[in-house]
Homo-oligomer: A and B are copies of this chain.
Amino acid sequence: MAERAVRKTPQRRTKAAQRARTLERILDAAEYLFSRHGLNGVALRDVAQRVGVHTSLMHYYFADKQRLFEAVFTRRAGITSSRRLDALDRYEREAGASVTVEGALRAFLDTDLELYIEGGKGWKNFAAFAARVSNSPEGAALMDLHFDPVVLKLIGILKRALPGCADADIFWGYDFVSGALMHVLARTGRIDRLSGGVCQSEDFAAVKDRLAGFMAAGFIALCADRRKAGKSRRRPAVGRRRARGAAAR
């Protein structure tokens, strides 16, 4: 019935190109499926079917399922990590001594959100994938491996913007920021239903308008409150540090 010209893989290029193309398609399919069903909710056959190849090809390109999962994470994690490192560097250079909490958070958060806004479907899938990883214990090692450098850079700037603030407050503040960001990236649709359509999970631009400012105010209040409350709190005196020394540069 079909004419002779019909081929399974139209226009095959060089082997290197073919390999690269198939790898990308496998990673895209895996990213999509893992983001929705998690590591164990996806069979290699599901990924293969989505790409339109045989399951055994998954093993040709990746040692096993765990490696495929990690490859999905690694592919984009490095990109967003270095983009944000660059943004933080640039901000530090521009702001000099007058760095602010909001400025640092904008470099960290908005740079990331822009990527998901402008990067197309693949990046949106990665966002949901990463969100899932971030709230699961198995994912912790992946987060550490790829994001520690950016996060520590951010925290360094936050410390300069909040002289005299206890380290614990800054780290906990970061944990709140990270949790909020990751939850937004998950796009579960819950906020859409809760708000009766006033907010939309997919609307990262709306998040970008609000997240950094919101969190910056949180940090500032936290450090102020804690300094005020200082001695009367439940934390034993041992835990309190002389904030003075750390204030300078």
In the complex, what's the smallest C-beta–C-beta distance from A51 to chain B, in angstroms? Answer: 21
In the complex, what's the smallest C-beta–C-beta distance from A109 to chain B, in angstroms? Answer: 11
In the complex, what's the smallest C-beta–C-beta distance from A243 to chain B, in angstroms? Answer: 14
Knowing A152-B194, A182-B183, A188-B140 are in contact, say whether A172-B210 is a contact too (CB < 8 A). yes
**Chain B residues positioned under 8 Å from A191 (CB to CB):** 171-172, 174-175
Interface size on A, residues (CB 8 A): 71
Say yes or no for A67: interface residue by CB 8 A criterion.
no
Give the residue name and chain of the B residue nearest to A229 (CB): B209
Residue-wise interface mask of A (183-224) relative to B, using a CB-CB cutoff of 8 A (1 in contact, 0 not): 110111111011100110000011101110111111111100
A182: which of B135, B206, B217 is its contact (CB, 8 Å)? B135
CA distance A218 to B105 in the complex (A): 13
CA distance A235 to B235 in the complex (A): 44
Q: Are B222 and A176 in contact (CB under 8 A)?
A: no
CA distance A210 to B210 in the complex (A): 21
**Chain B residues positioned under 8 Å from A195 (CB to CB):** 167-168, 171
What is the interface of chain A, defined by CB distance below 8 A to chain B?
36-41, 128, 131-132, 134-140, 143-144, 148, 151-152, 155, 167-169, 171-184, 186-191, 193-195, 198-199, 205-207, 209-211, 213-222, 225-226, 233-235
**Chain B residues positioned under 8 Å from A211 (CB to CB):** 176
Enumerate 24 A-B pairs (CB-CB under 8 Å) in ascending A order. A37-B40, A38-B38, A38-B39, A38-B40, A38-B41, A38-B136, A131-B135, A139-B188, A140-B189, A143-B190, A151-B194, A172-B191, A172-B210, A174-B194, A175-B183, A175-B191, A176-B184, A179-B181, A205-B234, A206-B235, A209-B233, A210-B222, A215-B218, A217-B222
Copies of this chain, count: 2
Q: Are A188 and B134 in contact (CB under 8 A)?
A: yes
Knowing A210-B222, A219-B214 are in contact, say whether A176-B172 is a contact too (CB < 8 A). no
**Chain B residues positioned under 8 Å from A233 (CB to CB):** 209
CA distance A51 to B169 in the complex (A): 41
Give the residue name and chain of the B residue nearest to A189 (CB): B140
Q: Are A134 and B137 in contact (CB under 8 A)?
A: no
